[in-house]
Chains A and B, each alone.
Chain A
Amino acid sequence: MFGKKNDPMTKFDVPPAMDANEAARIAFDHDLPLSKHHFVEGEHPVVRIEHLMKTFDGETQVLRDVNLNVWNGEIVVVLGPSGSGKSTMLRCINLLETPTAGHILIDDGEITGKSSKEVGIIRRDLGMVFQSFNLFPHLTAKENVMIGQTKVLKKSKEEAEAEAIKQLTAVGLADRADYKPPQLSGGQQQRVAIARAVAMHPKVLLFDEPTSALDPELVRDVLGVMRELALHGDMTMIVVTHEMGFARDVGDRVVFMEGGVVVEQGLPEDVFDNPQHERTKQFLGSIK
């Protein structure tokens, strides 16, 4: 199946007749961003960010005016130089940062300005994978995947355990289920963290530079897992990363951020091969 990757449309089986041109036409007709994703007519975005602003300590303005829509099942890769606000945007979606102004809607529901109790319920729909894994070191890999299910989703221990084993198998770590995080490599830890997020079956999975803290040889394991998830799950993913290969390969859409705003977005091949904005050109030039 990896052989088919050069033809981006083959992974969308429904409808089978859909091709790149038609997707582009629908996107154009409905004023949707260009994406490899198959849009269903009349569908609302699962994440809608409108005029999002975030200021730290009342002076450092990290997000100026971010507008971004993410559709169900779409893999959006967010690129940008450090300090461009991409991580902050992601953390705002998860309400780990409180937006200073603007709106974020998940499934058409406003999530800003909610009480801490409501925030807890909102966060169940938003899985997060952190740069530094943030596994719970006192729990085994399996327990890490179970704890959210038992404590938050109130699943039975057996149910949660079955789900944990399933997800750990999916990330290739079934044989490490009883290991504690410090006994695992960075790559393995991050894969457990992905399993932990996926086990909650969130509407949207947020990846905050998931491979930045890893040794190069471990990066591909994690990217492999994310790739599997993107290609075979029906998960909506927003991935902040510096992995250009991943963005190009797996991303349905690439979003380029700079200075707290979305500068450019579109099909990965368009953005990479034919960037429109000067900053995008500069950034991609410096990467190459």
Chain B
Amino acid sequence: MSLRKRSERRGAVAIVTTLMLALSLAMPTSALALTTNKATARPNEDGGSSVIGGLDTRLTWEGTVEEGEEVTEVTLMLPDDGTFDGATTKITVLDGLKRAKLEGEAVANGSQLTVTFKEPATAGYLLRLEVEGMRFPSEGGDIVVSGSYVNQAGEQTLADSKPIKTIANTPLQALVAQLDEAPWVQAWNSNPFLGMFFKPQLLATAFATLVPGWLLCLLIVVIAYPFAIVLGLVFALMKISKHRLLRFISTLYINVLRGTPLFLQIYIMFFGLPMMNINIDNNVLGVIVIAINASAYLAEIFRAGIQSIPQGQYEAASSLGMNYFQTMFSIILPQTIRRVIPTVTSDFITSYKDTSLLSSVGVMELMMFAKNLTSVSGNMTPYVAAAIFYLVVTLPLIKVVSIVEERIANSERGGGPRPKGKNAAKAAEASNGAKLSGLAVHAQALDDEHAYDSAMGQMTPSYASEV
């Protein structure tokens, strides 16, 4: 509904209310007033405690008839989109602790519910209306139940109830409501295993609820990982360094971090730093812990990768006159990176899963959300949903690892795509140019008279036959 329309309606309601107020002030018996004791609604959120608008719920309204009043009719009104249509109303009238024999009839008409009593309700009577199957406005908000009643002096305004907190009805909640109704869901949930681990309604709720936690997991690991890679590389280079002290520091770092559980490292960082009056945001600290932990593993991966590069590569680079850094960054590391991509990806998967441990120290990540939802619903389904969230990331990465491994193995065998023919043609053309410009020293030696077939890339010196 458009805002304007809503405000118009509000205006109309306000005018009606004002008119009624004016009317009641004009009445001499206005001192007598039916009090509104309470108006509450039953939570209708699956796995939650909220009241959702637009979905069936139960409104309980209670009012007490004042001294000298004889109430014959009570009308409850909901704002705008609320509806009583299709609701069944249970009318209870209590006289003290006893149930009064007072019959009434409820007639629903859109956002209005009128209860007419056959006999007037007299002083001290408690009127309780339980309207099952009514709906609050689907956009949610603080809902005030207003209305009017009729006593012997005519129509009176009913005091407004305390606001009822409702939340908007999202497509998800609509879906959950739909699932609640669906016969197959009921049949499904009647199976103890399916109902406990794969309850459709909870699955839907969990998918929506867990997203922020999932994003935080991804964010933590995605931010932590580049730091871990740089840190890991530094420690890897330190570990293969000639200097004993650097080697020692690196070995200590790697062994301590790899030799202790991440859980312990998390506890030390999260509880130790605040005790030293160092207060870092939980999420940032989570990034730091994951980065430091991963860097130790990456350092070992990089070290092994660097050392797997044959000595000949170093010799070839240094015979060209390259220094240590040129050799490392132009020759060794590019080859290392290719080789370690699968292992590093596996390690990334591990780090991503390890973020779950941060739930133990209150980082609001995936596991935390799942745990909360499970404790509210008493159902295992949120954990299954969390598992799916982990798998959505890890399964494709596992696939990537195997594809990359295959491609590396293939290219080391000399497989893989060949350059396109036109490149070769271009190269030949360029070489022609070089020849013509007279730059080539021994290109000149390869004049026509020599048995040199550039198209074949083969050289057939005649003397070879004499070897």
Interface residues of A (CB under 8 A from B): 1-2, 5, 94, 96, 116-117, 119-121, 123-124, 126-128, 130, 132, 134-138, 140, 142, 147-148, 151-152, 162, 165-166, 168-180, 182-184, 188, 193, 196-197, 200, 219-221, 223-225, 227-229, 231-234, 243, 245-246, 249
Most chain-B Cβ atoms within 10 A of its Cβ — which of A120, A140, A193, A246? A120
Assess whether B260 is interfacial by the CB under 8 Å rule.
Answer: no
Assess whether B449 is interfacial by the CB under 8 Å rule.
Answer: yes
Pair A148/B412 contact, Cβ less than 8 Å: no
Tell me the interface secondary structure of chain A in the complex.
Answer: helix
**Residues of chain A contacted by B453 (CB below 8 angstroms):** 172
Q: CB-CB contacts of B452-465 with A at 8 A, as 1s and 0s?
A: 11110111111110
**Residues of chain A contacted by B427 (CB below 8 angstroms):** 142, 165, 168, 174-175, 177-178
Pair A152/B463 contact, Cβ less than 8 Å: no
Pair B463/A249 contact, Cβ less than 8 Å: yes
Assess whether B261 is interfacial by the CB under 8 Å rule.
Answer: no
CA distance A130 to B319 in the complex (A): 10
Pair B413/A182 contact, Cβ less than 8 Å: yes
Pair A177/B320 contact, Cβ less than 8 Å: no
Q: How far is the CB of A136 from chain B (nearest CB, A)?
A: 6
Pair A152/B461 contact, Cβ less than 8 Å: no
**Residues of chain A contacted by B334 (CB below 8 angstroms):** 138
CA distance A162 to B320 in the complex (A): 18
Pair B445/A231 contact, Cβ less than 8 Å: yes
Beta-carbon nearest neighbor of B312 in chain A: A134
CA distance A162 to B463 in the complex (A): 30
**Residues of chain B contacted by A229 (CB below 8 angstroms):** 442
CA distance A124 to B320 in the complex (A): 6
Q: How far is the CB of A163 from chain B (nearest CB, A)?
A: 8
CA distance A188 to B459 in the complex (A): 10
CA distance A75 to B321 in the complex (A): 23
Assess whether B439 is interfacial by the CB under 8 Å rule.
Answer: yes
Question: Quick one: which of B426-467 are within 8 Å of A by CB?
Answer: 427-428, 430-431, 434-435, 439-446, 449-450, 452-455, 457-464, 466-467
**Residues of chain B contacted by A124 (CB below 8 angstroms):** 320-321
Most chain-B Cβ atoms within 10 A of its Cβ — which of A170, A196, A220? A170
Assess whether B416 is interfacial by the CB under 8 Å rule.
Answer: yes
Pair B428/A175 contact, Cβ less than 8 Å: yes
Pair A162/B428 contact, Cβ less than 8 Å: no
> Which single member of A170, A183, A197 contacts B446 (CB below 8 Å)?
A170
Beta-carbon nearest neighbor of B324 in chain A: A116
Pair B461/A232 contact, Cβ less than 8 Å: no
Q: How far is the CB of B435 from chain A (nearest CB, A)?
A: 7
Pair A123/B320 contact, Cβ less than 8 Å: yes
Pair A94/B459 contact, Cβ less than 8 Å: no
CA distance A121 to B320 in the complex (A): 9
Pair A245/B463 contact, Cβ less than 8 Å: yes
Assess whether B360 is interfacial by the CB under 8 Å rule.
Answer: no
Interface residues of B, count at CB 8 A: 58
**Residues of chain B contacted by A119 (CB below 8 angstroms):** 318
CA distance A147 to B461 in the complex (A): 30
Pair A134/B313 contact, Cβ less than 8 Å: yes
> Which single member of A5, A96, A172, A179 contacts B459 (CB below 8 Å)?
A172
Most chain-B Cβ atoms within 10 A of its Cβ — which of A147, A172, A178, A200? A172
A-B contact pairs, 28 of them (CB 8 A): A96-B318, A123-B321, A127-B319, A128-B315, A130-B319, A138-B334, A142-B427, A147-B320, A148-B320, A148-B322, A162-B430, A169-B435, A171-B459, A173-B457, A175-B455, A176-B424, A178-B427, A182-B414, A182-B416, A188-B457, A196-B320, A200-B320, A220-B461, A224-B460, A224-B461, A228-B442, A228-B461, A229-B442
**Residues of chain B contacted by A140 (CB below 8 angstroms):** 419
**Residues of chain B contacted by A137 (CB below 8 angstroms):** 335, 412
Beta-carbon nearest neighbor of A191 in chain B: B459
Q: How far is the CB of B313 from chain A (nearest CB, A)?
A: 6
Most chain-A Cβ atoms within 10 A of its Cβ — which of B431, B439, B440? B431
Pair B461/A2 contact, Cβ less than 8 Å: yes
> Which single member of A121, A178, A196, A249 contacts B424 (CB below 8 Å)?
A178
> Which single member of A162, A168, A200 contacts B321 (CB below 8 Å)?
A200
**Residues of chain B contacted by A180 (CB below 8 angstroms):** 411, 416
Assess whether B5 is interfacial by the CB under 8 Å rule.
Answer: no
Q: How far is the CB of B458 from chain A (nearest CB, A)?
A: 7
Known: A229-B442, A231-B445, A232-B444. 19 other contacts (CB 8 A): A94-B319, A120-B322, A121-B321, A124-B320, A130-B315, A134-B312, A137-B412, A151-B322, A165-B430, A169-B454, A170-B442, A172-B457, A174-B424, A174-B430, A178-B419, A179-B419, A220-B464, A232-B441, A245-B466
Q: CB-CB contacts of B316-351 with A at 8 A, as 1s and 0s?
A: 111111111010001100110010000000000000
Assess whether B423 is interfacial by the CB under 8 Å rule.
Answer: yes
> Which single member of B315, B322, B412, B440 contacts A170 (CB below 8 Å)?
B440
Pair B315/A166 contact, Cβ less than 8 Å: no
**Residues of chain A contacted by B435 (CB below 8 angstroms):** 166, 169
Pair A223/B431 contact, Cβ less than 8 Å: no
Pair A182/B434 contact, Cβ less than 8 Å: no
Q: A151-B326, A170-B440 are in contact. Are A228 and B321 (CB under 8 A)?
A: no
**Residues of chain A contacted by B317 (CB below 8 angstroms):** 136
Pair A136/B313 contact, Cβ less than 8 Å: yes
Assess whether B399 is interfacial by the CB under 8 Å rule.
Answer: no
Beta-carbon nearest neighbor of B327 in chain A: A151
Assess whether B243 is interfacial by the CB under 8 Å rule.
Answer: no
Q: How far is the CB of B309 from chain A (nearest CB, A)?
A: 10
Assess whether B418 is interfacial by the CB under 8 Å rule.
Answer: yes
Pair B459/A169 contact, Cβ less than 8 Å: no
**Residues of chain B contacted by A173 (CB below 8 angstroms):** 457
CA distance A261 to B324 in the complex (A): 33
CA distance A2 to B310 in the complex (A): 39
Beta-carbon nearest neighbor of B462 in chain A: A2
CA distance A231 to B461 in the complex (A): 13
CA distance A182 to B463 in the complex (A): 29
> Which single member of B323, B331, B449, B457 contacts A1 (CB below 8 Å)?
B449
Pair A175/B322 contact, Cβ less than 8 Å: no
CA distance A246 to B310 in the complex (A): 30
Beta-carbon nearest neighbor of A94 in chain B: B319
Q: A172-B446, A231-B445, A249-B463 are in contact. Are A151 and B330 (CB under 8 A)?
A: yes
> Which single member of A5, A172, A193, A196 contacts B463 (CB below 8 Å)?
A5
Pair A233/B442 contact, Cβ less than 8 Å: yes
Q: A151-B322, A169-B446 are in contact. Are A179 and B418 (CB under 8 A)?
A: yes
Q: How far is the CB of B444 from chain A (nearest CB, A)?
A: 7
**Residues of chain B contacted by A148 (CB below 8 angstroms):** 320-322
Pair B321/A120 contact, Cβ less than 8 Å: yes
CA distance A217 to B379 in the complex (A): 73
CA distance A6 to B428 in the complex (A): 34
